[in-house]
A and B are shown apart, each in its own frame.
Chain A
């Protein structure tokens, strides 16, 4: 490894860090006396430009790996990493554009540069192949998120949310590090691949499972999976809207990309699976052949998240808390895909692109990335709508959405599209996300257990329609209490309309995004 390789492979991260510094210099050095809206606009646009530069950097660094040894890299810019990183950059840019309308802080330069630094942490997390790099990336991301949550200094809720988030986060980081130290102690390496080799060579000792549970606790916190989800509703409710959107999207994309990397490396099946590929006739004894024990732990967390998230969301009156519980539920679906992901990893290497035949491992990795990226996009839009309504009515309770279709028809239409997409109604993109994921789970593993989990997930997404409709009902059906129009900043409105259009467009042509994600994987 030399510094040129390192620079080459981390070009996007470097671009973001430089952009963060530029934003700070411009805002603190040149615009101290300028009006707030000028400063916000400048900082946000500089931040977006930084994301653009990083995207360009990504095209240059794609395919690179750095490490002492080519076999055991620290970072790779290949496979799903590129898709996840591009997603992180685009979603970051969108949350920055939503900032233009916000007034929660006067320290915009600091805000934007913290966002950019956190996003660069996300980029590292998505590319990391080594426990230490993973931890550094996660901390860079998390510290940024704690600060962003606390950014509305005049709001008590924001401070409360940040404190809770920080305490939970610190605890989970400790768990994670503890788990990592076990892995290092057991195998003598911090590299994911090296650890896998040692595990296969020595056979899995019970200590591996202890370590894995600690790691799941740490990462389960990041993705807000039950039972590590308690911070999510408070943080989603208290954080300033653009920060909440950032937490709900970018941080999720990074963390799920990390889980995907880990599962690709660790959940490798020792031999090819034989037996009848029928869903119901497979006996339970096939179960252990199908799900590696490491994945089983994820499955438990996934099922718990789906159930708790969907059922708790039914009782919410605050739309932000509702979005938090729905995020927990979605995390459950995605974890299901991750747990099912690597089953064929050993034999999924051969990819035939003709006729659309893809190895099952890649199919489910694609499905997970597709889900995370589209979910992030949708959820940013949802927070954008909530932010506008909240500013006009002073509350994010469901009743403040009453008569939205009269007060701002465009906003109501965007809300309709985004929430129906979250519920998984075709032809919106949320349907394809779920559909790909469930099909991939069933396609990758036969047996009654995966089938039962998919059935549970589908049934619970039927439940989820109820709470999404509760909000839409207020926006469209119930009479308005107050009919004064709600004004939205033109940039905000434009961003929201673009997001809604993307949700419809990507839903009508699902192959576009799928094809792009698939194209990120090296052939053969």
Chain B
């Protein structure tokens, strides 16, 4: 059933591409229809899959000469991330309701991207996963370069080349793993049991992990992220921050850690306090957390604040992965879901609700506009989203980050201490952005009440989108078991050796 999320999205993309020009309204409703159908399937798949382990959906030989199977399956981690993709897709369509330029092409690329992402989360064959992973690159490029804003062509090319360079690293690693294992199956679980030599895992793990982590925004390979997020049209930045970065993190977990677990073993010597690849990547994650937060604090562009905050929050995901214990990795998966929802919401408020009305993202200009009075809906939505982003109890971010930190404490309290700095700064930059953009006392600009400067009313797609994402974060925050029950067994199985 979950496989249909992929096929529906691609069918939708094809249909949109064939749609005659000038049918913007039809195109929107079609896109919404396909996205909602995908979400419905994702929810149904999630509900049916509760309490089940790994279930195989399709398994047919694809490239028999190389043992590649078209193998779609789902475990708890996949189901949660498919659910996230479904949510982001629907919200993305809703927040793109005002796209007038080449509407059908926009939704064609959008749905193709969504289809690729569903595919990654459901693939249990190494090369199938890689195929879907690369499918996602091209739509991203066109979404940003055609419908984007600030320095869009530069940002789009940077993103495309970073992604492609990352996937080239992954491909080299995967080919090497395939050749070394000598196995005639490329199924993830079969390869995990193939027992690759430790010396091989030692160098292949960092290659593959870094390749995927580029897309997860790991410091110092994060620089595509802020420029890409800022340049992208709202729906694309929601997807970039919300789901695409998770593709990278998911690849780190599903391929990097599951296939090359011994690659994380200690080297046997220590260099400036680092004794294994685990230490290296954990510290990079911690640096990302603190660095992203500090840079976000210094931004003058509202969207850059959110862009850098994504780098910071994705650091928690990577840190959680590097704990390698049940609670930390569970927290990382939770954080993937939580950040996907919250970052999507923040980008929607900044890029769509505020920017499309005020036509500026400069905090200094927004200060003079008194948006809390003129756009109270946006202001209060941002207050709640900001609280969720800071990790206040009651929201999904709290559950996720807490677990990551507990998991990290068990391994190295130093990581937690450093990451704590990031959390404190996180409160500061969110608070600063909130205050400057919405609740400032600065003298109003003289043009404020001139005719032609009224802000358009909030539309129904905006309200629906905000409610959807905020609801998801709240539900998970108040009743985390709803996801944890699904994630925990899957993480346990994965850490125990590749899967059930």
Contacts and interface: CB of A to CB of B under 8 A. Distances in A.
| B partners with A | yes
Contact of B184 (A357, A425, A435, A454): A357
Contact of A458 (B134, B171, B184): B171
Interface stretch (A25-33, A300-308, A510-518): A510-518
B451 interface: no
Given A356-B64, A363-B65, A455 B172 contact: yes
Contact of B175 (A363, A438, A459): A438
Nearest to B127: A435
Contact of A514 (B63, B153, B178): B63
Nearest to B165: A462
A426 B133 CA distance: 9
Contact of B137 (A277, A425, A438, A461): A425
A510 B63 contact: yes
Contact of A277 (B138, B157, B175, B182): B182
Contacts of A71: none
Interface in B126-165: 127, 130-131, 134-135, 137-138, 141-142, 145-146, 153, 156-157, 160-161, 164-165
Nearest to B176: A279
B180 interface: yes
Nearest to B21: A409
A438 to B, nearest CB: 6
Contact of A431 (B105, B131, B168): B131
Contact of A425 (B134, B157, B179): B134
Contacts of A514: 63, 65
B130 A426 contact: yes
Given A278-B180, A439-B66, A511-B63, A465 B197 contact: no
Contacts of B184: 355-357
A443 B179 contact: yes
Q: Taking each of A358, A438, A439, which has the highest tally of chain B beta carbons within 10 Å of its own beta carbon? A: A439
Contact of A279 (B127, B131, B165, B179): B179
Given A436-B66, A442-B179, A514-B63, A477 B153 contact: yes
Contacts of A443: 178-179
A168 interface: no
B183 to A, nearest CB: 11
Interface residues of B, number: 42
Contacts of B444: none
Contacts of B153: 473, 477
B146 A476 contact: yes
Contacts of B266: none
A482 to B, nearest CB: 18
A140 to B, nearest CB: 34
A60 interface: no
A420 B136 CA distance: 13
Interface string B172-192: 100110111010100000000
Contacts of A277: 179-180, 182
Contact of B161 (A442, A466, A511): A466
A303 B165 CA distance: 19
B174 to A, nearest CB: 9
The main secondary structure of chain A at its interface with chain B is helix
Interface in B187-244: 197, 199-200, 203
B67 interface: yes
Contacts of A281: 197, 199-200
Nearest to A510: B63
Contact of A439 (B141, B167, B178, B182): B178
Interface residues of A, number: 44
Nearest to A514: B65
Interface in A214-263: none
Nearest to A511: B63
Give the dominant DSSP class at B's interface. Answer: helix
B138 to A, nearest CB: 6
A4 B160 CA distance: 59
Nearest to B109: A476
B22 interface: no
Contacts of B168: 458-459, 461-462
B4 interface: no
B180 A476 contact: no
A459 B170 CA distance: 11
Interface in A442-478: 442-443, 446, 451, 454-455, 458-459, 461-462, 465-466, 469, 473, 476-477
Interface in B31-69: 61-67
A280 interface: yes
A279 B172 CA distance: 11
B421 interface: no
B428 interface: no
A451 B176 contact: yes
A442 B157 contact: no
B60 to A, nearest CB: 10
Contact of B138 (A425, A436, A466): A425
Nearest to A442: B179
B17 A413 contact: yes
A442 B64 CA distance: 18
A160 B61 CA distance: 51
B164 to A, nearest CB: 5
Most buried by A among B142, B172, B199, B200: B172
A427 interface: yes
A469 B65 contact: no
Given A281-B200, A442-B178, 16 more contacts: A278-B200, A279-B176, A279-B179, A280-B203, A405-B105, A420-B138, A425-B134, A426-B131, A436-B66, A442-B175, A443-B179, A459-B172, A462-B164, A462-B167, A466-B161, A473-B153
What are the nearest 5 A-B pairs in CB distance?
A442-B179, A426-B131, A356-B64, A462-B168, A477-B145
13 contacts: A279-B179, A280-B200, A281-B197, A355-B184, A356-B65, A435-B127, A439-B66, A442-B175, A442-B179, A451-B176, A455-B172, A462-B164, A515-B65
Interface of B: 17, 61-67, 105, 127, 130-131, 134-135, 137-138, 141-142, 145-146, 153, 156-157, 160-161, 164-165, 167-168, 171-172, 175-176, 178-180, 182, 184, 197, 199-200, 203
